[in-house]
Structure 1
């Protein structure tokens, strides 16, 4: 059974573990060192203070994915644009958790001050994230060529955006 719910502090070790996999074993993020549990606590607290949602997907009592919204850029003029983040634990991809998380996140986004949601997706040959966002009406807004370097490769990012209405 899958449940989508707000993050709770005991979920943070699982969130950290999920993200650490993508940091060390993939090109999906340009982080090179996994954030510590204290860094995750600070991130969660900052998002909560800003009124931004942070959700987890729980499968049979275990955190199997997470998603959150954050302000797209720190300057005040960007305060009405949010950026989404969605990660699914290895072994749980392809089961619809990303769709469930992003759908719930966008429902909550409409209750924030956000007018647009942006997704910044590393383009390294795996189309799942782009397809997920396109399924919710995100449109490609541009490409930044060779802006990330990881595991010996230069990687593009593709910007997608959704107008919330």
Structure 2
């Protein structure tokens, strides 16, 4: 008997795993959204940062890092890219140069509703086969898993 046949019963098929199906759908949803964002010159990770900043007049990279659940260095790199695209502005405090304040620029605030519309469109394209009740159950199930496992890092890619 070959080793393949000997172990065939002990090796589960990929498609029997919930994680496989979550990743399968997630990858396609994320990739489609990234393609939609191409013309805006904003990446999915930059969109997440901008959206998290939208409700605040200004914030700090540290607060933003805590909110998103990524490192301060990671936030700093994303903010640097957004500053270079003139979508975010950064100010240092005169009395403490270590403290920075960041805020969306007027251009960033104008762009964000367009990006949110793309996110909404992407969701609709992928999840339209589900009824409103099925969507609510899916989201509630995902939130239950997030809470049960103490997940905090916001997906950025």
* TM-score w.r.t. length of structure 2: 0.22
| Structure showing greater relative contact order (alpha-carbon pairs closer than 8 Å, 6 or more residues apart) | 2
* TM-score w.r.t. length of structure 1: 0.21
Larger Rg: 2
Structure number with higher strand proportion: 1
